[in-house]
Amino acid sequence: MVYKNEATPDNRMITVDRERGITLQSRPAGPDGVYPFSLDWEGLKIPFAAEIADKKRYQDEQGAWRFDYTWLVRAIDLPEGFSESEEKLFSVISEAIDACGLMHSRARVGQVIVNFAPGVFTSKGYL
């Protein structure tokens, strides 16, 4: 996994793995705490939405605050022509969220766990 969190020339933050052609972008979330994302995987746009289901905050040995996140992916909108397996898709999304950390920064992020809701392909309204 060679993801980087970086700013685009127009100052948007992205999480990008150029070797594999994967880019994760955040989209406006609104007041409810469900975060919509757009995953670009070799040119295919895959919108999905996830929320922080659990958060643990703790101080490390230097006394700095760090956060462990458990994300729950609530919705994935698969584009036509998507041919990868569900397992592979979940793996890529999990890696991208892990690399993203929070708001495209891993600066204070510890462990990241990503789970998928049972109705992740049939839910409505998250995207």
Partner 1 sequence: MEQVSQGFMDDLRGAHGSLLQTHQLLNKVVAGKQFVPFQNLVDTLHSMSCEAFLPRMERPKGFIFGSGPANPLKDIHYKHFTGQLARDGHGLVTIANTQASQLIERTSFTAQLRHALEASGSAYDVDDIHHGYFNEDGERELGLWDDISRGYAKHAHGMVITVTPNACAHRVFVRSELPELIVNESVESINALSREMFLDYFDVLRAVGVSDRQAYKFVDDDLVKGSSVAFLRGYSEEFQHDLGITMRHDFHCSHGPDVSHIFDKAHPRHTLFAANDTAVDVKILPGFEVDLEGAHHH
- Name the site residues for partner 1 (rule: CB under 8 A): 7, 11-13, 26, 28-34, 52, 55, 57, 63-65, 67, 74-75, 102-105, 107-108, 117, 119, 122-126
From the CB of 115, what's the least distance to partner 1, in Å?
14
From the CB of 83, what's the least distance to partner 1, in Å?
25
Torsion of CA 98, 41, 81, 87, to 10 degrees: -30
From the CB of 62, what's the least distance to partner 1, in Å?
10
Cβ proximity to partner 1, 2 vs 64, nearer residue: 64
Cβ proximity to partner 1, 94 vs 123, nearer residue: 123
Closest CA to 45 of 76, 67, 69: 76
Cβ proximity to partner 1, 44 vs 109, nearer residue: 109
Q: Give the Cβ contact number of residue 116 at 10 Å.
A: 20
Extract the tokens encoding 119: 């109705």
Q: Which residues of 9-26 are buried (b: 16+ CB within 10 A; e: fewer)?
A: eeeeebbbbeeeebbbbb
